[in-house]
Amino acid sequence: MAEPAAQAVDEMVDGRGQLRPHWRDLMGAFSMLGEGALAERGRRLDRGFADDGVTSVMPGEAPLRWRCDPVPLLIQAAEFATVEAGLVQRATLLSRVLDDIYGAQDLLASGALPPAMVFANPQYLRLGAAGLQGPKLHLYAADLIRGADGQWRVKADRTGRAGGIAYAQENRRQLARVLPEALRSTGVRPLEPFFDQWQDALRPLAPTGVGNPTVALLTRGTQHRHWFEHMHLARLLSCALVEGGDLTVRNGALFLKTLRGLQRIDLLLRQIDGRLIDPLELDGNSVIGVPGLLDAARAGNVRIVNHPGSAVLEAKELAALLPALCQRLLGRALLLGNAAPADVPSLAPCLTDGRLDARPVVWRVFLMFDGTAWRVLPGGLARIRDDDAEDAPLPGLAKDVWVMHDEQSDIIGPLAVPAPRLALRRTSGALPSRVADNLFWLGRYVERLDSGARLGRAALTRLGRASRPREFEELQTLARILADARLIDAEAVASASLTIGLHATMHAGGAVGGLFANIAGLTEKVRDRLTGDMYASFTQTLRAAQEAAKSPTADGLGNGLLAISRFCTAVAGLASENMVRGGGFMFLDLGRRIERARAVVREVGFVLDLPARRIDSGLMLALELCDSAITYRNRYLNVLQPAPVLDLVLADQGNPRGLAFQLVAMRDLLEDLGSEAGVRELLAGSAAGLLAEVDLVVNQVLNAPDQAQEAALLPSRLRAMGSELDGLSNRITRRYFAVLPATQTVGLGLSQVQGAA
Amino acid sequence: MTMRYRIRHETLYAYADRVDLAAHMLHLSPRMLPGQQVFDASITAEPRPSRMSWGLDHFGNQVCWLFLDHPHERFSVTVQAEVAVGFAPPPVAELTLPWEQVVAIAAAGGAAFQASEFSYASPMAPADAGAGAYAAASLPAGRPILQAVLDLCGRINREFAFRPGVTTVNTSVADVLAGRAGVCQDFTHLMIAGLRAHGLPARYVSGYLRTKPPPGQAPRRGADQSHAWVGCWLGPEHGWVDLDPTNNLVVGDEHVVLAWGRDYGDISPVRGVILGGGAHTVTVGVDLAPT
């Protein structure tokens, strides 16, 4: 990297090589940590981001690393006040320009704006003469650099989606965890009040007359690089996180498709390219927008912020015009100047290989319009390596920005203004159908993984000592179960290759490997429904299990299977301890119950599929697979008989590993889901019917003259129950997770024009 | 001279699969203009939309939005209107501004900013170097703008074959230039791209051409269909004049204007997004008869 030009200001050290006074407390705190401690904190910071999934777009895919330097950028109170005043003015000015561009166009008519800046700008959207109501600019960010004269100047205006604010908050959260002493000793303004105010500011943005608006943040989903930011922002603002497919426009209003039907959305936080939000009027190829959204917005039934065309102000030519526009529109001089292309950023200390290097720094400051005034986040996102990239997340290293408290509290400023009283808020309880679908399958896959691990471990213990014919037979049964559950290749049924089969299934291309990938993907998709700790635990234990499972040795395989079981137990425990008993948890649980019921039915069906004289071996295997051997021994000591065993694994509603327990839970969940009466009876009734069938089956065995012979008749009935469970799962899918046909655009393509002359 | 016409324009979509939900945006209502009066315009759709809304688009065209919430396998929309047209004759070509001056006025913006908008490339009429080179032959230095555009219009009409079916809406200006054949949309986009390449404002006008030519004249090309032609800007004094390169005509009383935009994409007559539907066929019928 080339040496920065000599005249660049150093943030920490003055011209005589002395530490600037406002850095003393921080540097003091760092030196108190001791030799090498800062580097260690830096590593902990990296780990913190990795553990919380801030580094990666998708777990398991090439990670886009998010890294934050442990040394923050320090901004003095007076300096911040100057920047604040300058940016509030700039935001006000930009809002006025935006209003004019999408309104009267006086600035164009008078020649104050060159036509090319607007009309040749792909971000200028031709939305219709009526325009959209409400403030057009709500979130705005400016990239600042400090020039050689020590003044902060604006290098770029971000009016499109002003990305990066969630990262700023996340940097602070992680830094506070890793460097609490430094944060305490420096006296830093907290970020939380800004987010609280922001959340309250959303209410008056909604269409007039909507008292308690439903707010949604429109995202492109887990596969997109802004996913973390959108997910985190939705959580910070307690709003719904939605994809285009979750939304529909009916009768000129915007709705979220939830399990309880359509739920009105009043305010849409636009975080995707404005050109993609409505394929009916704008980019017809967009599959992430909502047809008719602009019609609903024009009708005043939904507000969109920022305005879909707000990025027009990111035109490079605009900055040079701002001084004149400021005089014209606000009647005063522009407070905060523009950086010249030749200006070099100031240098900030940055931890590199254990020592502090001075590197060029750019500071992104975020502003939010609360309906009356612009508010500035006292902090921001600083970046080392100025590559002028358009959007966050950016490559390279980030820095937290610490705005210091004013020591002289005699200054009358924003600090003296009492904080507005916070309004009570409740998050929206309605669950989007897509999220319910994902949770349901997450539950199913986790449980499937668990049952696979259980079977694998049962097989491994036998493989170690498979000399006796009984164990050989049990191994064959286990192989058949694994094959039927599609957890190993059918060819691996021969016990000689069962080890190979187990190793193979663990790998990326194998069935268990596939489950790992599915679970990772679904975890990411439901991430906004999990607490940060839950998400971290999910992904960490999953990664640990995935790693352990890759071991090529038999011991390693055993450890891998154990790690999988631990992961599944952790998911179950975390979910039941941390998730509110609403729709989300219910679908996760429903998925688990169906999958476990399916596994029990399959396993018992296969273990009973033995010659009657060998039924004891099958019964014992059934108890082992259902984790019920100890309970059985407590109840019946060492006497093994078919009816008591089958009662315990199939009909006993108190055995959490048994079939009846799952069916009761499914029946109750389906009744609680509160769908329309007919459907509820159909679905819950199906579970109840299975429960009755189980009772009947066990009673028949109990009352049969020869229990073993009667039990040998069960496999086909259990297979039928398995089919019934599959059918129930399909019916749940159809009822709750509407499978929609594809959308297409007509009238712009071939067909429309064929006849035209 | 003023002519009075009755228009009927029917568009029918037949879908292979059921459409669950549909939204359509129509640019089908004739524009009210100094040279064009519109009487009794009506839009009817089948099945009945659950919502219809009206408004003006960015260019001031009448737009109607239709939303269908109920499953359907066919969708038809019919516009009927009565229109009186008689656009003022163009100014004397020799007396119009040199074309370079028109370019300069458009580039400067200010009072002329609304015309400036049409001097920049748009998705279907991009800045195409070939189109620019083709148009250059009509733009010798200092030539009055109307002479220049009339010349360009005539050259396209003579040098390109009218041949339906050889192009689609996705055919680029460059391909039309290479193939020397196409339909009205292609000629219109080509002429617009050529003029814009030199900084001249030009816009895409959609509408209709009378079905039967005036007595004693040859049949017009492109009648019985949606038609398209070019709006050319002559500068602040004379404003816009419409030229039809398909028929080498100055638009007077044989054309009815529906809408204008930067290119076809801005004013597609029936644009929609449907949920489901599978493959589909479209049948369009246009009738423009003098009353």
A746 touches chain B (CB under 8 A): yes
Q: Confidence band (pLDDT; 50, 70, 90) for A397?
A: confident
Whether residue B63 contacts residue B57, with contact meaning beta carbons closer than 8 Å, is answered with yes
Structure token digits, residue A534: 């839950």
Question: Are residues B133 and B225 part of one domain?
Answer: yes
Of A23 and A575, the structure prediction assigns the larger pLDDT to A23
Adjacent-strand bridge partners of B23: B67, B273
Indicate whether A716 pLDDT > 60: yes
Indicate whether A7 pLDDT > 80: no
Indicate whether A1 pLDDT > 50: no
Q: Across the interface, do A129 and B164 touch by the CB < 8 Å criterion?
A: no
Indicate whether A415 pLDDT > 50: no
Residue A747 has, within 13 A of its CA and on its CB side, a CA count of: 29
Residue B65 within a domain: yes
Residue B259 within a domain: no
Structure token digits, residue A39: 């580097």
Decide: helix, strand or coil at residue B26.
strand
Indicate whether A582 pLDDT > 70: no
Q: How far apart are CA A279 and CA A474, in angstroms?
A: 59
Q: Across the interface, do B110 and A110 touch by the CB < 8 Å criterion?
A: yes
Residue B70 within a domain: yes
Per residue in B171-210, pLDDT (tens digit) is 899 999 999 999 999 999 999 999 999 999 999 999 998 8
Per residue in B13-45, pLDDT (tens digit) is 999 999 989 999 999 999 999 999 999 889 999
Of A49 and B261, the structure prediction assigns the larger pLDDT to B261
Residue B256 within a domain: no
Q: How far apart are CA A614 and CA A630, in angstroms?
A: 21
Burial A283-297 (b: 16+ CB within 10 A, else e): bbebebbbbbbbbbb
Residue B187: closest C-alpha in chain A: A757
CB < 8 Å to A300, chain B: none
Tell me the mean pLDDT in the region A82-95.
98
Whether residue A242 contacts residue A218, with contact meaning beta carbons closer than 8 Å, is answered with yes
Indicate whether A446 pLDDT > 60: yes
Whether residue A210 contacts residue A266, with contact meaning beta carbons closer than 8 Å, is answered with yes
Q: Across the interface, do B273 and A744 touch by the CB < 8 Å criterion?
A: yes
Alpha helices in chain B (DSSP H): 99-108, 113-116, 129-136, 145-159, 173-179, 184-197
Structure token digits, residue A335: 């407070």
Taking the alpha carbons of A300, A306, A311, A312 in that order, is the dihedral positive or negative? positive
Residue A500: per-residue pLDDT: 79
DSSP B88: P
Question: Are residues B191 and B129 part of one domain?
Answer: yes
Residue A739: per-residue pLDDT: 60
From A326-330, A490-494, B162-166, the region with the lowest mean pLDDT: A490-494
Residue A519: per-residue pLDDT: 92
Tell me the mean pLDDT in the region A611-616.
80
Average pLDDT, chain A: 86
Residue B261 within a domain: no
Q: Confidence band (pLDDT; 50, 70, 90) for A390?
A: very low
DSSP A649: I
Residue B225: closest C-alpha in chain A: A756
Adjacent-strand bridge partners of B229: B205
Residue A341, class by beta-carbon neighbours within 10 Å (0-12 exposed, 13-18 middle, 19+ buried)?
A: exposed
Q: What is the DSSP string of A488-512?
A: S-GGGGSGGGHHHHHHHHHSTTSHH
Alpha helices in A53-162 (DSSP H): 77-101, 106-109, 115-119
Q: Confidence band (pLDDT; 50, 70, 90) for A556?
A: confident
The closest CB to that of A747, out of B107, B170, B271, belongs to: B271
Q: Which of the given ranges, A304-318, A498-512, A721-735, has the highest pLDDT on average? A: A304-318
Q: Which of the given ranges, A406-420, A515-529, B103-117, has the highest pLDDT on average? A: B103-117
Residue B221: closest C-alpha in chain A: A757
Whether residue A441 contacts residue A515, with contact meaning beta carbons closer than 8 Å, is answered with no
CB < 8 Å to B117, chain A: 115, 119
Q: Across the interface, do A747 and B51 touch by the CB < 8 Å criterion?
A: no
Question: Are residues B276 and B199 part of one domain?
Answer: no
CB < 8 Å to B25, chain A: 280-281
Q: Calculate the CA dihedral of residues A614, A620, A622, A628 and round it to 10 degrees.
A: 160
Q: Across the interface, do A744 and B13 touch by the CB < 8 Å criterion?
A: no
Question: Are residues B276 and B233 part of one domain?
Answer: no
Task: Enumerate the CATH 3.40.50.11290 domain ranges in chain A, comma separated.
Answer: 208-301
How far apart, in Å, are the Cα atoms of B207 and each of A159, B222, B286?
Answer: 38, 11, 10
A120 touches chain B (CB under 8 A): yes
Residue A209: per-residue pLDDT: 79
From A258-262, A351-355, B135-139, B275-279, the region with the lowest mean pLDDT: A258-262
Decide: helix, strand or coil at residue A40.
helix
Indicate whether A3 pLDDT > 50: no
Taking the alpha carbons of A104, A109, A114, A116 in that order, is the dihedral positive or negative? positive
Question: Are residues B135 and B100 part of one domain?
Answer: yes
Amino acid at B195: L
User: How many interface pairs between A and B have CB atoms less than 8 angstroms apart?
Assistant: 166
A126 touches chain B (CB under 8 A): yes
Q: How far apart are CA A391 and CA A20, in angstroms?
A: 32
Whether residue A403 contacts residue A188, with contact meaning beta carbons closer than 8 Å, is answered with yes
Structure token digits, residue A252: 């000129």
Whether residue A623 contacts residue A632, with contact meaning beta carbons closer than 8 Å, is answered with yes
Nearest C-alpha neighbor of A304 from the set A220, A376, A207, A390: A207
Q: How far apart are CA B26 and CA B267, in angstroms?
A: 8
Query: Could you tell me the CATH number of the domain that includes residue B239?
Result: 3.10.620.30
Indicate whether A428 pLDDT > 90: no
The closest CB to that of A120, out of B69, B120, B271, belongs to: B120
- Residues of chain A with pLDDT > 90, as a percent, come to 51
Question: Are residues B161 and B247 part of one domain?
Answer: yes
Indicate whether A410 pLDDT > 70: no
Tell me the mean pLDDT in the region B202-227.
82
Structural domains in chain B (count): 2
Adjacent-strand bridge partners of A361: A384
Residue A734, class by beta-carbon neighbours within 10 Å (0-12 exposed, 13-18 middle, 19+ buried)?
A: exposed
Residue A468: per-residue pLDDT: 76
Q: What is the DSSP string of A42-58?
A: HHHHHHHHHHTT-S-SS
Residue A62: per-residue pLDDT: 55
Residues 6+ apart with CB under 8 A from B113: A105, A108, A109, A111, A115
Q: How far apart are CA A314 and CA A317, in angstroms?
A: 9
Question: Are residues B97 and B197 part of one domain?
Answer: yes
Taking the alpha carbons of A658, A659, A662, A667 in that order, is the dihedral positive or negative? negative
Taking the alpha carbons of A146, A152, A158, A162 in that order, is the dihedral positive or negative? positive
Tell me the mean pLDDT in the region A721-745.
82
Question: Are residues B146 and B64 part of one domain?
Answer: no
Q: Which of the given ranges, A161-170, B239-248, B275-284, has the highest pLDDT on average? A: B239-248
A743 touches chain B (CB under 8 A): yes
Q: Calculate the CA dihedral of residues A681, A686, A690, A695 and round it to 10 degrees.
A: 10
Residues 6+ apart with CB under 8 A from A349: A11, A12, A71, A356, A357, A358
Tell me the mean pLDDT in the region B148-153.
98
Whether residue A94 contacts residue A338, with contact meaning beta carbons closer than 8 Å, is answered with no
In terms of residue numbers, what domain contains B174? Answer: 93-251
Q: Confidence band (pLDDT; 50, 70, 90) for B7?
A: very high
Question: Are residues B229 and B110 part of one domain?
Answer: yes
Q: Calculate the CA dihedral of residues A277, A280, A286, A291 and round it to 10 degrees.
A: 60
Residue A653: per-residue pLDDT: 94
**Lookup result for tokens 């240098």:** A347
If contacts are CB pairs under 8 Å, which of residues 172-191 in chain A contact chain B?
A: none
Indicate whether A190 pLDDT > 60: yes
Question: Are residues B120 and B79 part of one domain?
Answer: no
CB < 8 Å to A742, chain B: 275-276
Topology classification of domain A208-301: Rossmann fold (3.40.50)
Q: Confidence band (pLDDT; 50, 70, 90) for B117?
A: very high
Q: How far apart are CA B88 and CA B242, in angstroms?
A: 11
Per residue in A276-295, pLDDT (tens digit) is 999 999 988 888 899 999 99
Residue A249: per-residue pLDDT: 93
Decide: helix, strand or coil at residue A653.
coil
Alpha helices in A375-432 (DSSP H): none
The residue count for chain A: 757
Taking the alpha carbons of B157, B163, B169, B174 in that order, is the dihedral positive or negative? negative
Residue A120: closest C-alpha in chain B: B120
- Residues of chain A with pLDDT > 70, as a percent, come to 89
Whether residue A117 contacts residue A315, with contact meaning beta carbons closer than 8 Å, is answered with yes
**Which of A110, A119, A132 has the highest number of chain B CBs within 10 A, making it the mutation to test binding with B?**
A119
Question: Are residues B97 and B52 part of one domain?
Answer: no
The closest CB to that of B55, out of A248, A251, A298, belongs to: A298
Nearest C-alpha neighbor of A67 from the set A79, A56, A78, A80: A56
Q: What is the DSSP string of B123-192?
A: TTB---HHHHHHHHTT--TT-BHHHHHHHHHHHHHHHSEE-TTS--TT--HHHHHHHTEE-HHHHHHHHH
Residue B289: per-residue pLDDT: 86
Taking the alpha carbons of B208, B212, B215, B218 in that order, is the dihedral positive or negative? positive
> Could you tell me whether strands A215-219 and A240-243 are parallel, antiparallel, or unpaired per DSSP bridges?
parallel
Decide: helix, strand or coil at residue B273.
strand
Query: Could you tell me the CATH number of the domain that includes residue B71?
Result: 2.60.40.2250
Whether residue A26 contacts residue A72, with contact meaning beta carbons closer than 8 Å, is answered with yes
Q: Across the interface, do A752 and B169 touch by the CB < 8 Å criterion?
A: yes
Q: How far apart are CA A649 and CA A626, in angstroms?
A: 7
C-alpha of A374 from chain center: 29
Residue B245: per-residue pLDDT: 97
Task: State the Cα angle at A12 between A8 and A13, rounded to 5°.
Answer: 70
Q: How far apart are CA A513 and CA A505, in angstroms?
A: 6
From A307-316, A486-495, B109-118, the region with the lowest mean pLDDT: A486-495
Per residue in A224-253, pLDDT (tens digit) is 778 889 999 998 998 999 998 889 999 999
Question: Are residues B232 and B99 part of one domain?
Answer: yes
Q: Across the interface, do B268 and A748 touch by the CB < 8 Å criterion?
A: yes
Q: Across the interface, do B56 and A129 touch by the CB < 8 Å criterion?
A: yes
Residue A392: per-residue pLDDT: 41
